[in-house]
């Protein structure tokens, strides 16, 4: 259970030299005990090669307008985001091989986030990134509260991938918000972008989730729909109040208390999967959405 007794302090994003290798015979349905949750998590993974570069590019475009300290932190954030999409891209190849119909969903994701990056102004794009990071942070807190229910018994590499990503969302939860606030700070624009981000997440994730569950022949069972409804309502009770709070004047993400185990889990992951690195090292600085 998350310890939310006191607000956390901002943390400099750490660039970790990690990789998660999946073979062609690995099962992308990585926890058979929680198929609906896995399908929803895999639907989020499918978005990462398109939404993470969008955030990184938006933040990097703002670097000339930031103080030197914030610019360095923002660049480290962008590098983390690009590493996330790189590792999810490799996992997503398993998904497409297992569920070929996801190709069409993925193409719509690609075109949507590419269009936003091309046609929206910097202030909207930064507000979109900041509000999306609040959603990601809410997902990390929600997952922490349901860890045993959905992660226990899952494939170790896949659970490491998803928990690593969520742990780093907690670590850099304030960065996109700080960049948006330094460049713009319009709470109205933030709220509007947040509603757009949440709507796109809901549509794309539901489409991908239903496609995978349909291929697995699970949609014929009433308990599949019951568990999906339970997942949706449970997450909504986490994300909607947090989104509302984050749009209020004077709010800052550092006022939110983090699950207390993610940081120690990251330290253990570095021992298991790669050398310990320091801020600003170990990850390529460029990344693109294919």
What is the SS3 assignment for 126? helix
Residue 278 has pLDDT above 70, yes or no: no
Residue 10 falls within a domain, yes or no? no
- Residue 275 has a pLDDT of 60
- Residue 141 has a pLDDT of 96
Residue 6 has pLDDT above 90, yes or no: no
Residue 197 has pLDDT above 90, yes or no: yes
Residue 27 falls within a domain, yes or no? no
Quick one: how many helices (H) and strands (E) in the chain?
10, 0
Q: Which one is predicted more confidently, 281 or 114?
A: 114
Query: b/e for 270-284, b at 16 or more Cβ within 10 A?
Result: beebeeeeeeeebbe
Helix axis angle for 68-98 and 35-61, nearest 10°, is: 140
- CA 242 to chain centroid: 16
Residue 269 falls within a domain, yes or no? yes
Region of 31 please: left (phi>0), alpha (psi -120 to 50) or beta: beta
Q: Which one is predicted more confidently, 272 or 199?
A: 199
Q: Which one is predicted more confidently, 203 or 18?
A: 203
Residue 22 falls within a domain, yes or no? no
Indicate which CATH number applies to the domain containing 162: 1.10.620
Domain that holds residue 96: 35-273
Mean pLDDT in residue range 166-191? 96
Name the pLDDT band for 276 (thresholds 50, 70, 90): very low
Mean pLDDT in residue range 99-105? 95
Residue 173 falls within a domain, yes or no? yes
Q: Which of 159-163, 198-202, 264-268 has the lowest mean pLDDT?
A: 264-268
Residue pLDDT, tens place only, 210-236:
999 999 999 999 999 999 999 999 999
* Radius of gyration for the alpha carbons in the chain, expressed in angstroms and rounded: 18
Residue 282 falls within a domain, yes or no? no
- Residue 98 has a pLDDT of 94
Name the pLDDT band for 25 (thresholds 50, 70, 90): confident
Residue 26 falls within a domain, yes or no? no
Residue 8 falls within a domain, yes or no? no
Residue pLDDT, tens place only, 56-76:
999 999 999 999 999 999 999
pLDDT above 90 covers a percentage of the chain that reads: 80
Mean pLDDT in residue range 12-19? 86
CA proximity to 11, closest of 167, 239, 245, 190? 167
- Residue 10 has a pLDDT of 57
Q: 84 near 52, Cβ under 8 Å?
A: yes
Total domains, the chain = 1
CA distance 81 to 172: 10
Residue pLDDT, tens place only, 33-60:
999 999 999 999 999 999 999 999 999 9
Average pLDDT over all residues of the chain: 90
């Amino acid at each position: 259970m998350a310890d939310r007794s006191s607000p956390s302090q901002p943390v400099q994003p750490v660039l970790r030299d990690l990789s998660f290798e999946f073979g062609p015979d690995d099962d992308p349905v990585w926890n058979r005990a929680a198929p609906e949750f896995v399908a929803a998590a895999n639907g989020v993974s499918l978005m990462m090669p398109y939404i993470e570069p969008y955030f990184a590019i938006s933040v990097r475009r703002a670097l000339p307008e930031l103080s030197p300290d914030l610019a360095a932190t923002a660049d480290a954030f962008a590098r983390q985001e690009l590493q996330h999409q790189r590792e999810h891209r490799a996992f997503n190849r398993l998904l497409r091989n297992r569920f070929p119909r996801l190709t069409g969903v993925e193409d719509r994701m690609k075109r949507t986030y590419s269009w936003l990056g091309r046609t929206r102004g910097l202030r909207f794009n930064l507000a979109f990134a900041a509000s999306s990071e609040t959603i990601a942070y809410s997902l990390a807190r929600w997952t922490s509260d349901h860890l045993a229910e959905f992660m226990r018994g899952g494939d170790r590499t896949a659970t490491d991938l998803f928990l690593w990503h969520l742990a780093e969302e907690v670590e850099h939860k304030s960065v996109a918000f700080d960049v948006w606030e330094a460049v713009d700070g319009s709470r109205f624009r933030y709220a509007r972008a947040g509603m757009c981000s949440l709507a796109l997440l809901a549509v794309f994730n539901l489409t991908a989730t239903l496609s995978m569950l349909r291929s697995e022949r699970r949609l014929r069972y009433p308990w599949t729909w019951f568990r999906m409804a339970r997942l949706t309502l449970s997450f909504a009770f986490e994300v909607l109040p947090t989104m509302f709070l984050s749009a209020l004047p004077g709010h800052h993400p550092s006022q939110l208390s983090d699950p207390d185990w993610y940081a120690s889990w990251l330290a253990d992951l570095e021992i298991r999967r790669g050398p310990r690195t320091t801020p600003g090292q170990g990850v390529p600085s460029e990344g693109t959405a294919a």
